[in-house]
């Protein structure tokens, strides 16, 4: 290498000109070189100059290395004093100390300092650059860029409030400038930076808001061809065109998956990003590695370990081909996740090797500080979990403590990652026998985890809230351990009251904000449009297929905005998360208890995760009582046997014959011993006559009235039984319409029936289109709705009863019982359905459809694949249902979803039933759905509760049509309810009387089963005071 020449004035001037022009391109782009060295930048610049691709000023990169200040042979430590002590002073003499080009120079100097990890000096010179621009050029685009870069520095340091403040200044200024504007790529990067810093601060609502803004800007940006000036930063930095979109989608995927637990949406964003980058870049690229690593993590969370392993391997291979990335933060994360996956695959030797290597790499890293702290925390946390699961408790504790200390120092206070480590450390302390420390940690974590939940509920769409709830079980396990060890069940009782059904409650709260009715109509309209897209596959044309996918994304984006907008108006002031068990006690009737069942993750250390059931008894006075009920799998097997028995058919096979009196007695008493005896043993000594049950998981599909005591009596004979979705329901203020109105929708014969007012122009334009399910691959094959002979008789008898009691009864038979007519209902006092209720079971290969049986029965085996949304798997059949199903079977066309006769649970949620006193679903399996732990049943019952009905009467298994006993039961219930004005009490009393009556009147050998099957399936979920005036 030649000896560097003494700098002459022309050479210095060339250096200043070079740096000034360079910074105008570099910092206007908002791009940080945190992941790319200045040497690589200069290599790219030199290459482009030699190719004649960049029109640079005279004297730039003229091929003489001695005249290039930052030649590859000159290191940054040598360049900094030359630049700061010689070039900048000369530049100030030439342009003046307050010139914007001096600020650009300071920007570049700060970059050099930052690259060396000298953050103090980087901050010093950037502050000086900010001072110059604010004083002399407050509305210059460079001012926005410098704000952004100062924010980036603070973000790397871990000073998130300062980072946020500077990013916000940058974005606000950029949006207001004509040269940039809200949809400029630089503004987009500023919004993405804001989202990232808000995630670090634990403010997920704000993060999601800015990600969404950035995505909106990206959509607008893609419609405009970038100028050569705007494209130049990409070329100088060695980036591909489309980098912005790939980077944004990759970051959004991490947010959706890692924060919200929405793995499907994360997978889609990652796959879109991967497709984009593969089109633009054929060689290894760090973003390719990051996307493969992200996809591996998503598939690991979804349980697809084979795919996860392959994507992790692909990521590692990419980083090995990029020397600068072999020990980068992305590479360390990949090592960490590969290590933990190896443990899940039972290869503990490889797991320990990879996890220890990840810890070593993270602790060896020197910069940037934020990445280093993040890596140390993540890698130590995963190694600690591994050691906990392999019973090496001392090593586990040390690494948990390392992770906790690191996160406490580097993240904002009570960050969600810190809370997770605290929860795992508390579980370890229990296993170590350090009970006092374990209890202390467990009690600290619950309010902190609920703060995260508040955050999600304050902005998430319905789908995102459910996804988060499904992923993040409340920490019931720790609080159950606290109750077991100390006898204190109060924290657990409050946690259950805060968490059970909280997503449904949040949606109901959203619907009550100002302007919500109009927004809900827009939401329903969008859902119908989405359904049309979901249901239709275009012809075999690539361009035609791409159009619906693009429309789907746009509609989903609009839906997300509307749902999030309602949530933001409510904010974090969620009533459910503020309720204490004492408030519930205050409204309990004398002599009553609330029994809150839960299905929860029970940890044996962290070695084995098992699902358990338990219950908290909340008495009228005194402290809550915890009752463990044991493993869920054994109990759920009994419930499955119970359901099979109640669904037996009296057809040619007559599988009911195998359930003789002895078999029925054994099963009902076995369930009593598992579900009720442990609770009964813990009830207060004072006489308890009233039990209010809040089920969870599969317990939602048990009629507790049918459980058989050791004295061979139905449980309902000894106590009054009532049902709520959550104990919070007892606190609701309810108000019914005063007008005595009843609306009856009754359907019997679907043959040749089409919904009212269908016209040719209501059909899909593309009749050759193929029908798709919600997940675009399910087909309803030859589904025929059986004749219901008794529904018209039922409707007529209800009309007579209503007339006799001075009620105004509106009946809609067959062709008149349309969805369109139903949507016009405005809170009738009673709403009655006599029709088929259909529930589609999600299975890997097919879906079994259960609905009301004729005497001949029906056994359908349609070759269906999973319908991903449980609110689309439950529906009521209205006018036109069979025509729609036939059309779906043919795959040629469909009717508009808003009037196709298929009333899904999701559509039910948008009915206007806020002042409806009773809704009866006189159809089979209307209480069915997906029993999701912590969130009730995702099906028709959830839809009607969301619509506002106060007392929902439904059935848990199939009922034979035209059965006189069942029809009289319903009529007697209505008569009693109308007389007492207390629907739950009326059902309780009539069910008790009828169980005893049917059992006594049935011939020996069939008594128990006949009584339980005919009278037992009716359950009512109510809201409000149990004995208040309706």
In this structure, are 554 and 601 located in the same domain?
no
Instruction: Tokens for 412, please give them.
Output: 């904002």
The 10 Å Cβ neighbour count of residue 931 is 21
Give yes or no for a contact between 272 and 287, defined as CB atoms under 8 angstroms apart.
no
Q: 220 or 279, which is more confident? A: 279
Report yes or no on 494 lying in a domain. Answer: no
Domain match, 764 and 885 both: yes
Q: Which of 228-232, 309-313, 638-642, 828-832 has the lowest mean pLDDT?
A: 228-232
Whether residue 379 is predicted with pLDDT greater than 50 in this model: the reply is: yes
Same structural domain, 702 and 764: no
Residue 695 and residue 765 in one domain:
no
What is residue 227's three-state secondary structure?
Answer: coil
Question: Which pLDDT score, from 0 to 100, does residue 868 have?
Answer: 53
In-domain check, residue 862:
yes
Token pair 């000896």 in the structure block, residue: 3
**Cα distance between the two ends of the chain:** 94
pLDDT (mean) for 767-786: 42
Compare 566 and 961 and report the one with higher pLDDT. 961
Statement to judge: residues 46 and 116 lie in one domain: yes
Could you tell me what percentage of the chain is helix, strand and coil, using 3-state DSSP and rounding each to the nearest 5? Answer: 60, 10, 30
Same domain, 531 and 594: no
73 CB neighbour count, 10 Å cutoff: 12
For residue 892, tell me if it sits in a domain: yes
Exposure of 428 in the CB half-sphere (CA atoms within 13 A) = 25
- In a domain, residue 809? The reply is yes
Query: How confident is the model at residue 48, as a pLDDT?
Result: 41
What is the extent of the structural domain holding 45?
A: 1-170
Is 475 a domain residue?
no
Does residue 132 belong to any structural domain of this protein? yes
Same domain for 821 and 893: yes
Looking at the fold, whether 771 and 748 belong to one and the same domain comes out as yes
Higher pLDDT, 771 or 648: 648
What are 650-666's pLDDT values in tens digits? 655 666 777 888 999 99
Residues 792, 900, single domain; the answer is yes
Given 933, 949, 965, the domain boundary residue is 949
For residue 109, give the nearest of 180, 15, 193 by alpha carbon: 15
Residue for token pair 């808000």: 198
Which of 200-214, 516-530, 899-913 has the weakest average pLDDT? 516-530
pLDDT band at 749; cut points 50, 70, 90: confident
More confident residue, 31 or 968: 968
Closest CA to 1006 of 665, 707, 651, 668: 665
* CA 360 – CA 332 distance, rounded (Å): 9
Distance of CA 582 to CAs 490, 586, 595, Å? 10, 6, 14
Q: Which of 1029, 1026, 301 is nearest to 720 (CA)?
A: 1026
Decide if pLDDT at 706 tops 90: yes
Whole-Å CA distances, 88 to 84, 93, 104, 106: 5, 9, 11, 8
Higher pLDDT, 548 or 943: 943
Co-location of 563 and 584 in the same domain:
no
Q: 611 with 533, same domain?
A: no
pLDDT at residue 289 greater than cutoff 50: yes
Identify the domain boundary among 903, 934, 949: 949
The number of C-alpha atoms within 13 Å of 153 and in the hemisphere containing its C-beta is 28
In a domain, 302, yes or no: no
- The pLDDT assigned to 572 comes to 47
Q: What is the pLDDT of residue 864?
A: 36
Characterize the bridge pairing of strands 918-921 and 770-771. Answer: unpaired
Q: What is the mean pLDDT of residues 625-643?
A: 93
Asked whether residue 421 is domain-assigned, the answer is: no
| pLDDT given at position 955 | 87
C-alpha–C-alpha distance, residues 359 and 635, integer Å: 42
Least confident stretch, 199-213, 258-272, 298-312: 199-213
Residue 730: partners with Cβ closer than 8 Å, 6 or more residues away: 584, 587, 588, 594, 692, 724, 1024, 1025, 1026
Is residue 937 located within the same domain as residue 795?
yes
pLDDT over 50 at 598, yes or no? yes
Domain count, the chain: 4
Q: What is the pLDDT of residues 32-73, one digit of tens each?
A: 333 334 444 444 444 444 443 332 222 112 222 222 223 332
Query: What pLDDT shows up at residue 172?
Result: 93
> Is the pLDDT confidence value at 934 over 60?
no
pLDDT band at 783 (very low <50, low <70, confident <90, very high): low
Interatomic CA distance for residues 573 and 978, integer angstroms: 38
pLDDT at 541 over 90: no
Is the bond preceding residue 368 a cis peptide, omega within 30 degrees?
A: yes
Q: Is the pLDDT of residue 677 over 70?
A: yes
With a CB cutoff of 8 Å and minimum separation 6, the contacts of 235 are 44, 48, 53, 54
- What 3-state class would DSSP assign to 409? helix
For residue range 606-617, what is the model confidence (pLDDT) as tens digits?
Answer: 556 788 999 999
pLDDT on residue 687: 80
Mean pLDDT, the chain, as a whole number? 76
Query: What average pLDDT score do residues 906-917 get?
Result: 87
Q: Report whether pLDDT(697) > 90.
A: no
Looking up residue 162, the CATH number of its domain turns out to be 1.25.40.10
Q: Is the pLDDT of residue 849 over 80?
A: no
Domain boundary among 729, 752, 784: 729
With cut-offs at 50, 70 and 90, classify the pLDDT of residue 808.
very high
* pLDDT tens digit sequence for 522-536: 666 666 565 555 555
- Written as six digits, the tokens of 186 are 């630089």
pLDDT tens for 952-999 read 998 888 777 778 898 899 999 999 999 999 999 999 999 999 999 999
Which of 344-353, 381-390, 840-849 shows the lowest per-residue confidence on average (mean pLDDT)?
A: 840-849
């Amino acid at each position: 290498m030649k000896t560097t020449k003494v700098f002459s004035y022309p050479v210095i001037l060339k250096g200043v000109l070079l740096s000034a022009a360079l910074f105008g391109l570099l910092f206007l782009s908002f791009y940080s070189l945190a992941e790319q060295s200045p040497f690589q930048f200069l290599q790219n610049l030199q290459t482009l100059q030699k190719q004649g691709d960049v029109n640079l000023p005279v004297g730039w990169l003229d091929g003489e290395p001695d005249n290039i200040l930052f030649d590859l042979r000159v290191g940054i430590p040598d360049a900094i004093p030359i630049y700061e002590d010689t070039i900048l002073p000369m530049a100030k003499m030439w342009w003046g100390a307050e010139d914007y080009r001096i600020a650009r120079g300071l920007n570049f100097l700060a970059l050099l300092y930052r690259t060396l990890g000298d953050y103090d000096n980087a901050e010093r010179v950037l502050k000086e650059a900010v001072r110059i621009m604010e004083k002399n050029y407050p509305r210059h685009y460079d001012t926005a860029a410098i704000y952004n870069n100062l924010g980036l520095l603070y973000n790397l340091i871990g000073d998130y409030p300062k980072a946020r403040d500077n990013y916000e200044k940058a974005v606000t200024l950029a949006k207001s400038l004509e040269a940039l504007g809200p949809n400029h790529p630089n503004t987009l990067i500023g919004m993405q930076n804001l989202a990232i810093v808000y995630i670090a601060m634990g403010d997920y609502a704000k993060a999601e808001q800015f990600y969404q803004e950035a995505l909106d800007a990206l959509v607008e940006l893609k419609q405009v061809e970038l100028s050569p000036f705007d494209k130049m930063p990409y070329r100088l930095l060695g980036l591909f065109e489309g980098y912005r979109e790939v980077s944004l989608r990759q970051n959004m995927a991490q947010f959706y998956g890692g924060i919200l637990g929405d793995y499907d949406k994360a997978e889609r964003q990652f796959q879109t990003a991967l497709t984009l980058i593969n089109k633009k870049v054929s060689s290894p690229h760090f973003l390719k590695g990051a996307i493969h690593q992200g996809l591996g993590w998503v598939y690991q969370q979804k349980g697809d370990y084979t795919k996860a392993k392959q994507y992790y391997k692909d990521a590692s291979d990419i980083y090995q081909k990029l020397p600068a990335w072999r020990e980068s933060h992305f590479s360390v994360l990949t090592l960490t996740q590969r290590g933990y996956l190896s443990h899940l695959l039972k290869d503990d030797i490889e797991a320990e090797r990879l996890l220890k290597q990840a810890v070593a790499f993270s602790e060896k890293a020197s910069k940037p500080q934020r990445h280093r702290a993040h890596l140390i925390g993540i890698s130590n946390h995963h190694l600690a979990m591994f050691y906990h699961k392999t019973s090496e408790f001392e090593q586990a504790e040390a690494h948990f403590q390392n992770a906790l200390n690191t996160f406490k120092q580097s993240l904002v206070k009570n960050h969600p990652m810190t809370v997770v480590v605290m929860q795992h450390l508390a579980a370890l302390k229990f296993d170590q026998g350090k009970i006092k420390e374990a209890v202390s940690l467990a009690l600290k974590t619950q309010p902190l985890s609920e703060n995260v939940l508040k955050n999600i509920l304050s902005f998430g769409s319905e789908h995102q809230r459910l996804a988060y709830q499904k992923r993040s079980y409340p920490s019931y396990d720790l609080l159950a351990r606290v109750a077991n060890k100390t006898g204190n069940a109060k924290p657990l009782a409050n946690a259950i009251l805060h968490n059970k059904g909280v997503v449904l409650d949040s949606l109901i709260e959203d619907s009550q904000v100002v302007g919500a009715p109009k927004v809900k109509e827009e939401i329903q309209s969008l859902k119908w449009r989405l359904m049309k897209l979901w249901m239709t596959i275009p012809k075999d044309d690539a361009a035609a297929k791409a159009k619906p996918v693009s429309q789907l994304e746009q509609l989903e984006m609009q839906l997300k905005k509307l749902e999030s907008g309602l949530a933001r108006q409510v904010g974090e002031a969620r009533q459910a998360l503020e309720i204490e068990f004492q408030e519930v006690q205050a409204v309990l009737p004398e002599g009553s208890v609330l029994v809150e069942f839960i299905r929860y993750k029970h940890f044996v250390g962290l070695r084995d995760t098992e699902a358990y059931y338990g219950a908290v008894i909340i008495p009228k006075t005194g402290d809550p009582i915890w009752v463990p009920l044991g493993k869920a799998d054994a109990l759920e097997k009994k419930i499955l046997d119970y359901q099979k028995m109640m669904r037996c058919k009296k057809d040619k096979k007559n599988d009911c014959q195998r359930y003789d009196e002895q078999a029925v007695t054994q099963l009902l008493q076995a369930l009593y011993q598992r579900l009720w005896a442990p609770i009964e043993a813990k009830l207060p000594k004072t006489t308890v006559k009233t039990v209010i049950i809040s089920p969870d998981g599969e317990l939602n599909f048990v009629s507790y009235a049918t459980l058989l005591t050791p004295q061979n009596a139905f449980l309902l004979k000894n106590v009054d039984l009532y049902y709520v979705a959550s104990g919070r329901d007892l606190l609701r203020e309810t108000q019914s319409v005063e007008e005595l109105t009843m609306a009856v929708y009754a359907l019997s014969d679907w043959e040749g029936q089409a919904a009212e007012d269908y016209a040719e122009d209501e059909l899909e334009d593309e009749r050759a289109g193929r029908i798709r399910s919600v997940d675009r691959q399910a087909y309803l094959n030859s589904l025929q709705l059986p004749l219901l002979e008794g529904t018209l008789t039922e409707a007529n008898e209800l009309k007579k009863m209503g007339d006799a009691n001075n009620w105004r009864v509106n009946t809609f038979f067959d062709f008149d019982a349309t969805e369109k007519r139903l949507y016009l209902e405005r809170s009738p006092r009673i709403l009655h359905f006599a029709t088929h209720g259909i529930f589609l079971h999600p299975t890997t290969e097919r879906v079994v459809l259960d609905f009301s049986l004729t005497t001949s029965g029906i056994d359908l085996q349609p070759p269906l694949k999973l319908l991903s949304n449980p609110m689309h798997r439950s529906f009521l059949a209205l006018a036109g249902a069979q025509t729609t199903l036939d059309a779906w079977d043919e795959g040629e066309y469909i009717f508009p979803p808003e009037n196709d006769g298929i009333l899904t649970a999701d559509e039910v949620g948008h009915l206007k039933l806020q002042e409806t006193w009773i809704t009866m679903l006189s159809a089979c399996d209307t209480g069915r759905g997906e029993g999701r732990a912590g969130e009730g049943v995702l099906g028709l019952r959830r839809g009607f509760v969301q619509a506002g009905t106060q007392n929902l009467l439904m059935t848990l298994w199939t009922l034979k049509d035209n059965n006189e006993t069942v029809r009289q039961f319903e009529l007697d219930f209505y008569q009693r309810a109308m007389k007492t004005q207390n629907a739950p009490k009326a059902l309780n009393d009539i069910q008790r009387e009828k169980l005893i009556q049917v059992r006594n009147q049935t011939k020996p050998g069939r008594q128990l089963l006949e009584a339980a099957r005919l009278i037992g399936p009716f359950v009512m979920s109510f809201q409000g005071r149990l004995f208040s005036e309706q």
